[in-house]
Amino acid sequence: MSTAREDALDIFLYALKASRVEPAMERRLVCRDGVMEIDGHRYVLGGYERLVLIAIGKAAHTMATPFLWRVGDVRERFEGIIVGPEDEAAPSQGFRVYRGGHPSPNAGSMEAAADVLRTLQALTERDLVVFLISGGGSALMERFLEPGVSLETIAATHKALVESGAPIAAINAVRKHLSAVKGGRLAVAAAPAEQLTIFVSDVPAGELDALSSGPTFPDRSSVEDVYRIAKEYGLEERLPVEIGKKITERTLGETPKEDDAIFARSQWVVLLDSASLEDAGAERARELGWHVEIDNHCDDWSAERAVEYLMGRLGEMRRLRERVCLLSAGEVTVQVPRGATGRGGRNQHFALIASEQIAGSDVVVLSGGSDGIDGNSSAAGALVDGKTQARAEEIGYPVSAALAAFDGHTLLEQLDDTIMTGPTGNNLRDLRVLLAP
Ligand SMILES: O=C(O)C(=O)CO
């Protein structure tokens, strides 16, 4: 019989495999006799003068490839731009590929933004643009509204936001109001063309305007939200001075909202989200003989609070029966002290906090990101058990020290407790697997 550690890893890897983009595109996107259809939205491709595809995000290439394959012969008529995190070849001659920066924008992010805006602004009402949007796009493509802001300031702004401890919707509310390519502004650039956006979502259900900062979606956040968020998370002290000033002086402009006429020819479809991860994880856990519950209440909570909550839930389940498995999808937040230089991310941080709580017990805790990259490390996440804390003591790097330095990866790598998948070309948020035999 397999061990609880082996099962936790099996459940996570199965969930990743079952949630791949390619089969999802194959199931949902149909193209017959030049008519493309997805979720009841039909497009007679021969009726458009230009067919443009813009793919942005960590899953840009993995979405673009099956999309072009599904449209069959019409693929020759598609032209466009792919903005992803890796160096990959263009799918055909009419495509330009950019490698953007993540978690902070780089020169490629800026070049991509300029090219995307130029391309969209040339479209007319006779054209169709299909956007393929996945998470990570906020950094992979960027240009600030204010002209002349340096790449260094832009990157420092992103870093300050990501490390602020704010949930993704709040971080992206700020980004949207600073950027020329977020908060519906790509939809503005593409109007009056017909627009279809297909999402691979790494944000909570119902918050599509936060996905890669909603470049094609009506923004639900307002400038007033930005000023409130800045206060709540102390952003004015964290942000570069010239950006912080825009907030203190309240000079930000509003983004396009739901009733804006520019969205009259837009449709949006979610291809995959974290529900796919948790459903597949639950299926596999049951096959392995575990009694499963899914609990996402702690989505967007701080890592400390989420550990406490999930350990409490696991304890309740365990009082009723043996072999219990608690699954939780979503993300936790971490507030990184300014100047911290450790390696890691929210998943490894969560796992290390959990390792202190399960020390000496038979409980196993896994926390992993579906994109395969946790924070600034090369791991997807970590898998800890009742011996992790003691093993850390033995090698002279206590868990508490690694947590304080936000250096979870360095410790977990030495303990061989990291999960290494490599970048998955997907991005559906994180999955936590807690097993009590
Ligand atoms: O905004 C981003 O880039 C995210 O990863 C969330 O979608």
What is the value of ipTM here, to two decimals? 0.98
Ligand 1 close to Cβ of residue 213 (< 6 A): yes
Ligand 1 close to Cβ of residue 172 (< 6 A): yes
DSSP annotation of 146: S
- For ligand 1, the distance from its centroid to the CA atom of residue 68, given in whole angstroms, is 24
First to last CA, the chain: 12
Residue at a domain's end among 273, 289, 310? 273
Q: Considering only CA atoms, which residue is closest to atom 1 of ligand 1? A: 212
Residue at a domain's end among 251, 273, 295? 273
- 3-class DSSP assignment, residue 4: helix
Residues 414 and 318 in one domain: yes
In this predicted structure, what is the pLDDT of residue 86?
Answer: 85
- For ligand 1, the distance from its centroid to the CA atom of residue 182, given in whole angstroms, is 11
In this predicted structure, what is the pLDDT of residue 218?
Answer: 98
Burial of 5 (0-12, 13-18, 19+ CB in 10 A): middle
Ligand 1 close to Cβ of residue 204 (< 6 A): no
Residues 289 and 203 in one domain: no
CATH number of the domain to which 329 belongs: 3.40.1480.10
Residue at a domain's end among 223, 240, 273? 273
DSSP structure string for 372-404: S--TTSS-SEEEE-TTHHHHHHHTT--HHHHHH
| Sign, Cα dihedral of 137, 139, 145, 147 | negative
| Sequence-ordered list of residues with C-beta below 8 angstroms from that of 225, at least 6 positions apart, any chain | 170, 173
Domain count, the chain: 2
Q: Considering only CA atoms, which residue is closest to atom 3 of ligand 1? A: 136
In this predicted structure, what is the pLDDT of residue 420?
Answer: 98
CA angle 298, 280, 210 (to 5 degrees): 45
Report how far residue 174's alpha carbon sits from residue 155's, in angstroms, rounded to the nearest whole number.
Answer: 14
Ligand 1 close to Cβ of residue 59 (< 6 A): no
425: number of Cβ within 10 Å: 23
- Partners of 53 in beta bridges: 80, 130
Residues 229 and 331 in one domain: no
In this predicted structure, what is the pLDDT of residue 159?
Answer: 94
Residues 398 and 335 in one domain: yes
Residues 268 and 280 in one domain: no
- For ligand 1, the distance from its centroid to the CA atom of residue 356, given in whole angstroms, is 30
- pTM equals 0.91
DSSP annotation of 333: B
Q: Is the peptide bond before 103 cis (omega within 30 degrees of 0)?
A: yes
In this predicted structure, what is the pLDDT of residue 87?
Answer: 83
Ligand 1 close to Cβ of residue 266 (< 6 A): no
> Which two tokens mark 347?
């998943």
378: number of Cβ within 10 Å: 14
Residues 265 and 282 in one domain: no
Domain boundaries, position 59: 20-273
In this predicted structure, what is the pLDDT of residue 337?
Answer: 82
- For ligand 1, the distance from its centroid to the CA atom of residue 391, given in whole angstroms, is 35
Residues 236 and 116 in one domain: yes
Q: How far is CA 388 from the centre of its chain?
A: 28
- For ligand 1, the distance from its centroid to the CA atom of residue 212, given in whole angstroms, is 4
- Ligand 1 pocket check: which of 109, 140, 172 to mutate, most ligand atoms within 8 Å of Cβ? 172
Task: Tell me which residues of the chain have a pLDDT lower than 70.
Answer: none
| Sign, Cα dihedral of 355, 357, 363, 367 | negative
In this predicted structure, what is the pLDDT of residue 336?
Answer: 87
Residues 166 and 267 in one domain: yes
DSSP annotation of 106: -
Ligand 1 close to Cβ of residue 109 (< 6 A): no
Residues 194 and 82 in one domain: yes
In this predicted structure, what is the pLDDT of residue 65?
Answer: 96
Dihedrals phi, psi of 347, to nearest 5 degrees:
-70, -45
> Which two tokens mark 239?
């942000």
Among the atoms of ligand 1, which is closest to the Cα of residue 171? 1
Helical ranges in 249-381 per DSSP H: 274-287, 303-320, 346-357
Residues 104 and 210 in one domain: yes
Ligand 1 close to Cβ of residue 369 (< 6 A): no
Among the atoms of ligand 1, which is closest to the Cα of residue 168? 6
Question: β-pairing, 78-84 with 95-99?
Answer: parallel
Residues 235 and 90 in one domain: yes
CATH number of the domain to which 126 belongs: 3.40.50.10180
Residues 202 and 309 in one domain: no
